[in-house]
Amino acid sequence: MVNQMNPADKSILQQQTETYFEQLQTQKITDTGVAKVNHHLWSHLLLLLLGVPFFLIGYFTSAPIAYLAQQFTKKRIKKKEFIYSVGMVAHMFSFLVYFSFLFLLALISWNIWWIGTVCLLPFFGYFSLLWRESFLEWNDTRKFNRLPLEVKKALKNNRHQIQTLWKSF
């Protein structure tokens, strides 16, 4: 879509976008904080606090997978364009090996609680990713809401102008 813009409009969009992101950098916030103003609600914080135990379980049980995949990728892959694709495959392979090993141990123990827990670990790992993303959004909106009113209005206005210009094409 940007490639189809005429040069004058593209220049205006580029100028407004650069100005907006410079303002964000000056205020040490992200675009997410401006875009998702309602994520700073107390109810959102309460849900985050309730999810902490599940986040911790998922985070610490998934940490070995991430570490193994990261070390493999860091040692073996030298070209930047292959890092993410190989990293994803390394994560998937590490995931399969790690949870297969844990499931085998749980089956050997023949304890229904261990088997059930190991079966839930991938869900906790995925939950930890969602929780972390939600926490970062909440924190970004918290930072945005602490800014002076005139700064918030200017940032919202600049973001709105960019969106309006973008939608007009």
The sign of the CA dihedral 146, 147, 148, 151 is: negative
pLDDT, one tens digit per residue, over 118-158 is 999 999 989 998 999 999 888 888 888 888 999 889 888 88
- Look at residue 169 in the predicted model and tell me its pLDDT: 67
Asked if residue 103 belongs to a domain, the reply is: yes
Asked if residue 27 belongs to a domain, the reply is: no
Asked if residue 12 belongs to a domain, the reply is: no
**How deeply is 70 buried, as exposed, middle or buried, from its count of CB atoms within 10 A (0-12, 13-18, 19+)?**
middle
Range of the domain at 59: 51-146
Compute the distance between CA of residue 70 and CA of residue 90 in angstroms, rounded to an integer: 8
Tell me what the mean pLDDT of segment 99-123 comes to: 92
Sequence-ordered list of residues with C-beta below 8 angstroms from that of 82, at least 6 positions apart, any chain: none
Asked if residue 101 belongs to a domain, the reply is: yes
Asked if residue 38 belongs to a domain, the reply is: no
Asked if residue 110 belongs to a domain, the reply is: yes
pLDDT, one tens digit per residue, over 10-67 is 788 888 888 889 988 988 888 888 887 766 678 888 889 999 999 999 999 888 888 8
Tell me what the mean pLDDT of segment 165-169 comes to: 74
Cβ count near 13 (within 10 Å): 18
Closest to 152 (Cα-Cα) out of 44, 40, 23, 42:
23
Asked if residue 15 belongs to a domain, the reply is: no
- Look at residue 1 in the predicted model and tell me its pLDDT: 56
Per the structure, the count of domains in the chain is: 1
Asked if residue 155 belongs to a domain, the reply is: no
